[in-house]
Amino acid sequence: MSRIEVRKTYKLFIGGAFPRSESGRSYEVVDKEGNFIANPAMASRKDARDAVVAARSAYVGWSGATAYNRGQVLYRVAELMEARRDEFIDEVSLSEGIGKGKAGKIVDAAIDRWVWYAGWSDKLGSILGATNPVAGPYYNFSIPEPVGVVALIAPQDSSLLGLIDLLGAALTTGNTVVALASEASPLPAITLSEVLATSDVPGGVVNILTGRTKEVAPWLASHMDVDAINLAGVAAEDVRNLAGEATDNLKRVIAPKSRDWLKTPTLEAMTSLLEVKTVWHPVGI
Amino acid sequence: MSLFKYAAAPESRAIVNIASSYGLFIDGEFVDGTGTAFKTINPATEEVLSEIAEGSALDVDRAVKAARRAYSKVWSKMPAAERGKYLYRIARIMQERAREFAVLETLNNGKPIRESRDVDVPLAAAHFFYHAGWADKLEHAGVGSAPKPHGVVGQIIPWNFPLLMLSWKVAPALATGNTVVLKPAETTPLTALLFADVCRQAGLPAGVVNIVTGAGATGAALVSHPDVNKIAFTGSTKVGKAIAREIVGTEKSVTLELGGKGANIVFDDAPMDETIEGIVNGIFFNQGHVCCAGSRLLIQENVQDEVLDRLRKRMAQLRVGDPMDKNTDVGAINSAAQLGRITELSNTGDSEGAERWSAPCDLPAKGFWYAPTIFTGVTQAHRIAREEIFGPVLSVLTFRTPAEAIEKANNTPYGLSAGIWTDKGSRILWTAARLRAGVVWANTFNRFDPTSPFGGYKESGWGREGGRHGLAAYLKQGEQA
């Protein structure tokens, strides 16, 4: 008799821990042929709110870390993913219903995307900052700063690379994140959270939810302690409504059109999650 | 009371020539509006200065069409360097007519002539001069190698710095190759209408700048017009949110410069003379009609008595009254409606248990006035600590540790400005890094410059104005390009 495999329980990732949904709900995820894969948690409004609290608590530490440190932490994620490369290829292949070859390319790009973003953390200040030659006896400088807590509605069509693309942009800029995984293919996101949990990313900096996009995304869009939201994974017909909800506290809203996730992101992926702060001081003796 | 008596030193108003009525400036000429004309007054005397046309939705449409024509036929085809030369011309003409602008601004706004003369008008000209130079250098602005303008920009500006806000809006829009439909504030249209004459003198092609006067309905028509590509708004957070919601789902870009409740933090080692001047400048400059005002004073508890004692003494010296008097420090409240809002919100300070102290001063019988006022014993829950008063009213809170100062300073949905007073350099940088605000003034307050980006975090707005960062607002970004 062949050995019965030990299956994994896929749970949420909030504040560095792996809780089930407080609602006690889960939903069935199947492969392309309709075969059962797993029952990940179906996050509720309360889970989303808990995740925002965790992200807010982690914000001061992460945004206050040195850029060099953040770069190393993100690079470390790439190192750990590399070690679990085969596992990710299997999971992406199964989740997205694509061949191992194509999944391999996606996983490699995902690992390399962490490396790319890791290198940005200590360049952004130079590229986007300025000393401003004001007409008076003042020293005046402008620096980019993270916008705060960012909600990412991860793309539906790219369960791992798309999510990492959004995560990298938010994290290298010093933001903390609540991400809602691809609804139909959430498993690679949860496996990624296992990587994050064992890497040097502090608990709460990244929180990952699985569940129904139509149910959870509106709570994040209207949450008054979320500073920005990326609507990549929101159905086209819902973007307008959620962007409207987001105006209640003037969230920065990113509503990207679908893109080829294998392509290198633009600088705007990061600038859209940054504020510019200008500081003045008199010059004198 | 004051040691010296001041003789009145009124500025002459002979330099301005106010017409009895004004139309809308569309396609290079003044035309009649189809709305209901309204009167504009001098808030210091309630004297009617002129009658102003109200732009209807029809008029807004005419203006947008003129701006579109000017964009496609003239402005977008003009070499960038030539475009820049028009802006240089405008800057020069504004400098040449500076006194005229200053007097007119003070008459229509109520701000002291000293401020319109020394701050508003020179800075407005500087904004045009600065942005003129950008026109043919935009590929170096950090927004791509061939940045493109949006097209027609709708701009809505407030009444607190009428000409200066016009320049913050119009100068970068034109430098980047956009054409403009501008709606000045209802209560302060006159310097914008004088600016139309500057456009004439500069030979600016017709339709590049259109000025449509009116109130909220005119602005709403501009925001919702389908052929406007970008909206730039400065005003209240409430209206800003409504605009943001209105344009959701459209292709319009938007920048918002909104309200604030700036924390001005005084540490116990602060240089006291400068600090007192900075507190006064932070809240009483422009009658406190300043979105980035330092309207919450956070004093370290052990120097509270000294700071407040000296602040009251200094406030007692403020000269409140005739804005045209060159000695005047604090002028008139801009409108009866604003005076009502200031009065209503300040009264909650009394009813919620804070302690009011107002500078002893004789307020003129006519016009709209509010004595410089501080509230002590304010808690974070008080409305006067949470809501923008937009008047000469300061809420005073205290703190013990730097961490507490940061927590209180950031305890607001706004994030526009903040101030830091301390002699310790490392503490300035530590504090500045933790304040969630777009502009931080350390050992100074309320400084502005065209090279310096200005704008808010959180509910204080979207985007920046000024500097290299401000240009991005008027150029297509990423997927738009």
Strand ranges (E), B9-99: 21-22, 24-26, 29-31, 38-42, 47-52
Chain A residues with CB under 8 Å of B428 CB are 281
Q: Are A248 and B428 in contact (CB < 8 Å)?
A: no
Is residue B214 scored above 60 in pLDDT? Answer: yes
- With pLDDT > 90 as the criterion, what percentage of chain B qualifies? 96
- Which of B411, B451, B454 to probe by mutation at the A interface, max A CB count within 10 Å? B451
| The CATH fold of domain B21-258+458-480 | Aldehyde Dehydrogenase; Chain A, domain 1 (3.40.605)
Q: Do B471 and B134 touch, CB atoms closer than 8 A?
A: yes
pLDDT tens string for chain A (285 positions)?
789 999 999 999 999 999 999 999 999 999 989 999 999 999 999 999 999 999 999 999 999 999 999 999 999 999 999 999 999 999 999 999 999 999 999 999 999 999 999 999 999 999 999 999 999 999 999 999 999 999 999 999 999 999 999 999 999 999 999 999 999 999 999 999 999 999 999 999 999 999 999 999 999 999 999 999 999 999 999 999 999 999 999 999 998 877 899 999 999 999 999 999 999 999 998
Burial B271-308 (b: 16+ CB within 10 A, else e): eeeebbebbbbbbbbbbbbbbbbbbbbbbbeebbeebb
Beta-sheet pairing, B21-22 with B47-52:
parallel
Q: Does B444 contact A280 at a Cβ distance shorter than 8 Å?
A: yes
Angle between the N-to-C axes of helices B80-96 and B162-175, in degrees from 0 to 180, rounded to the nearest 10: 160
The pLDDT value recorded for residue A1 is 74
pLDDT tier for residue B4 given thresholds of 50, 70 and 90: confident
- What mean pLDDT is predicted for residues B347-355? 98
The angle that helices B121-134 and B162-175 make with each other, rounded to 10 degrees, is: 10
For this structure, is B292 an active site residue? no
What ipTM score was computed for the predicted complex, to two decimals?
0.96
* Cβ atoms A74, A168 nearer than 8 A: yes
The average confidence (pLDDT) of chain B is: 97
Residue B70: burial class (beta carbons within 10 Å; 0-12, 13-18, 19+): buried
Residues 6+ apart with CB under 8 A from A110: A81, A88, A160, A161, A164
Q: Does A257 touch chain B (CB under 8 A)?
A: yes
pLDDT of B1 > 60? The answer is no
Q: If residue B298 lies in a helix (H) or strand (E), which one and from where to where?
A: strand B296-300
Contact between A155 and A162 (Cβ < 8 Å): yes
A239 in B contact zone (CB under 8 Å): yes
Q: Which helix (DSSP H) or strand (DSSP E) does residue B128 occupy?
A: helix B121-134
Three-class SS of residue B417?
Answer: strand
**What is the spatial distance between Cα A199 and Cα A169, in angstroms, rounded to a whole number?**
18
Q: Report CB contact under 8 Å: A268, B462.
A: no
Whether A51 contacts A14, CB under 8 Å: yes
The CA distances from residue A3 to A6, B416, B455, in Å, are 9, 63, 63
Nearest to A162 by CA among A261, A269, A278: A261
> Does B145 touch chain A if contact means CB atoms closer than 8 Å?
no
Distance CA A165, CA A167 (A): 6
**How far is Cα B182 from Cα B293, in angstroms, rounded to an integer?**
25
Of B186, B257, B388, B465, the active-site residue reads B257
Looking at residue B479, what is its pLDDT?
53
Query: What are the start-end ranges of the H helices in B236-271?
Result: 237-247
The answer, for A279 touching chain B at a CB cutoff of 8 Å, is yes
| Secondary element (H or E) of residue A126 | helix A124-128
Report how far apart, in Å, the C-alpha atoms of B192 and of each of B116, B200, B236 are. 14, 13, 20
Q: Where are the domains of chain B?
A: 21-258+458-480, 263-442
User: Is the distance from CB of A82 to CB of A111 less than 8 angstroms?
Assistant: yes
Of B11, B186, B199, B291, which residue is the catalytic one?
A: B291
Q: What is the pLDDT of residues B384-437, one digit of tens each?
A: 999 999 999 999 999 999 999 999 999 999 999 999 999 999 999 999 999 999
Confidence label for B480 from pLDDT (cuts 50, 70 and 90): low
Contact B101, B163 (CB under 8 A): yes
| Residue B5: predicted pLDDT | 81
Give the domain ranges of chain A.
29-282
Residues of A in contact with B432 (CB under 8 A): 277, 279
Give yes or no for B468 touching A (CB within 8 A).
Answer: yes
- Architecture (CATH level 2) of domain A29-282: 3-Layer(aba) Sandwich (3.40)
The reported pLDDT for the residue numbered B2 is: 57
At B253-275, the pLDDT tens digits run 999 999 999 999 999 999 999 99
| Out of B438, B442, B478, closest to residue A275 by CB | B438
Q: Per the CB < 8 Å rule, is B443 touching A134?
A: no
CA distance B39 to B238: 26
Residue of B nearest to A60 (CA): B434
Burial of A227 (0-12, 13-18, 19+ CB in 10 A): buried
| Extended strands (E) in B118-193 | 152-156, 179-183
Check CB contact of B128 with chain A, cutoff 8 Å. no
pLDDT band, residue B477 (cuts 50/70/90): confident
Asked if A232 and A162 count as a contact pair (C-beta separation under 8 A), the reply is: yes
DSSP conformational letter for B475? B
Catalytic status, residue B257? yes
Tell me the residue type at B412: T
Length of chain B, please?
481
CA distance A23 to A20: 8
Q: Does pLDDT of B153 surpass 90? A: yes
* Cβ-based neighbours of A281, under 8 Å, separated by 6 or more: A138, A139, A140, B428, B442, B443, B444
B223-251: per-residue pLDDT in tens? 999 999 999 999 999 999 999 999 999 99
* Top-tier CATH class for B263-442: alpha beta
Residues of chain B in contact with residue A138, where contact means CB-CB under 8 angstroms, are: 444, 447
CA distance A245 to B460: 17
What does the alpha-carbon distance between residue A113 and residue A110 come to, in Å, rounded to a whole number? 5
Query: How close is the nearest chain A Cα to the Cα of B246, in Å?
Result: 8
Amino acid found at B454: F
Strands (E), B38-193: 38-42, 47-52, 152-156, 179-183
Give me the residue from A248, A266, A278 closest to B452, CB to CB: A278
Rounded to two decimals, what is the model's pTM?
0.96
